[in-house]
Amino acid sequence: MLNIDNTIPIFRYESKNFNFHLNDCNKRDSEFDTVLMKKWLQAESDGVFRYNLKIAEWKILEGKHHYLVQLNLDRVWNRRKPENISSMLQPFDASRFNFTKLPNREIFFDIGDGSGNDIIAGNVSPIESGHCLLLHQRFQCLSQQVTKNSLCKALELLLLSNSPYLRIIFNSLCAHASVNHLHWHLYYLKHQMPLECIEISELIHPVFLLTNVPSNGFCLKLSSFSGNSIDCLNQLTFWVYLIVDYLQKHEIAHNVYITRAKTKPNESIYDDVRIYIWARKSSCGVKNTTAFVPAVSELFGHIVTGTEEAYRNLNENTIAEILTDITEDTFNAVKGEIFNLVKKNVSNDI
């Protein structure tokens, strides 16, 4: 429910508002979807963004991986210059751009106590419809590292949606994060993607391996856990954070992608949530935004290009080589450590 008594509206919700099962034939938006898109479209109309979203062209590449490639010229030339990231331990720098400096017109609504500490804000350089930022505890000036609370909040927002196309993503430092201030991205990618229901193999319960695509990684699923829905959500949060925190503590660059999923691929029901975690090679310095940048969306199979030449010339083999190069060695190096970490904690109470 949206409360507009304050300068920044407050979106209040409870666990009873969560949608754990969706039917892809149902086009009814939730209140969260409606409010978010109304705010986003109004901001676009008011010129809040650096450009109005215009995906000039898109295509599904030929091949077994069905990569979605989109041409977004404006994002290359009109976005804010990414921060120079040199280390995963790089501290928050108050002198640089950060999300405490956002003007109110970029803030859509508060999802916390009304203090403006937890908010949804527009991404002024959108890659897709409804592209927003989840800014959790922004006044604490935390660097770009996942916290358990921010992960929990990201999952809650996904479940508030009645759309199977809402995606929530995270880029770590040295994995193409552009701002060193804790943030998650939300956007609606209205395409059915292979990784929503692709076959995965179990490493050790409840962790699975994504190995039959070039972007080797780890996967956790909501359907892996037993109990009521909230218990399952808490368990999923625990295990995802356990792995991500390991990567953070060992300074291993990583990307996280949260998406709705199907336990039965040929049916219409989205009855699962998958979280993919990719451990990867570090990428330091200011990222090159004029071509194909292998960040989290690209690892998922959503390739955003910024030049017509790249759009014309990209093919499955080129993308596969890049994704393999940045994930395979690191994945193989940490797989055994993740196994041991999970085995050590598997009997712990959550």
What positions carry a catalytic annotation? Answer: 183
DSSP symbols for 201-254: EEEETTEEEE-SSSS-EEEEEGGG--SSHHHHHHHHHHHHHHHHHHHHHTT--E
Dihedral angle computed from the Cα positions of residues 107, 113, 114 and 115, in that order, rounded to the nearest 10 degrees: -90
User: What are the C-alpha distances in Å from 193 to residues 87, 165, 245, 333?
Assistant: 32, 9, 27, 28
The 68-71 sheet, strands edge to edge? 57-60, 68-71, 302-305
CA separation for the pair 182, 140 (Å, rounded): 9
d(CA 289, CA 276): 24
**Three-state DSSP class for 170?**
strand
Cross-strand pairs, 129: 188
CB 88 within 8 A of CB 253: yes
